[in-house]
Amino acid sequence: MYVHPQEIDYNIDTLFELIDASGLEFIGFSNPSFWDLERLLGKAPELVERAKDLSDRQLYRLIELLDPEVTHYEFFLGRPPLIKSDWSDDNALLAAIPQLNPCLEGFPSQCFFNYDYQIVNLSVPEFEFMQKCDANSTVAEILADVQLGLDGVRTLLQQQLILLTPV
């Protein structure tokens, strides 16, 4: 592979040139924590602050330049138009139907592995909420029986422990 005459070394810029030419939309990397600048510069918050105005692609390129461990890319593409739900509206969130992320290992338990094999420790209300995610009940119906607020549901969503289907 390394001496093959057809071997091409890609970087973020050339990768996105290919994605743009394909007509597909970049959804995200399969390993998003790797592409988090905090991972590399967490001990230098002033540098993280300086990078806050970078576009996503510029940020990915910066991470690629800072981390020599970038050896391959794992990402998802979709065919436009890709409908993205905005869960900032409380009514939309309450009407959504939650289900567990199928990539959890060790659930049901308050301590299990997430999709990235990182240990997750749930509070009792978070655990109770997730136990009731049966892909039939709405968030509002589950919250009627569980002492977890909408912020807690959004936290579970942000951690990708649950997936939401709009109604």
Given CA atoms 150, 154, 159, 160 in this order, what sign does their dihedral have?
A: positive
Is residue 57 one of the residues assigned to a domain?
A: yes
Task: Give tens-digit pLDDT for 39-69.
Answer: 999 899 999 999 999 999 999 999 999 998 8
Tell me, yes or no, if the pTM score tops 0.85.
no
User: Long-range contacts of range 1-4, CB-CB < 8 Å, 24 or more positions apart?
Assistant: none
Is residue 4 one of the residues assigned to a domain?
A: no
Q: Are residues 100 and 62 in the same domain?
A: no
Which of 48, 78, 108 terminates a domain? The answer is 78
Q: Are 89 and 153 in contact (CB under 8 A)?
A: no
Q: Are residues 73 and 102 in the same domain?
A: no
Rounded mean pLDDT, 98-125: 95
Rounded mean pLDDT, 124-139: 96
115: number of CA atoms within 13 Å, CB side? 16
Which of 30, 49, 78 terminates a domain? The answer is 78
pLDDT at 58: 97
pLDDT at 1: 54
What's the rounded Cα separation, in Å, for the pair 166 and 109?
Answer: 27
Owning domain of residue 101: 90-165
Is residue 71 one of the residues assigned to a domain?
A: yes
Q: Return the structure tokens found at 147.
A: 């002492």
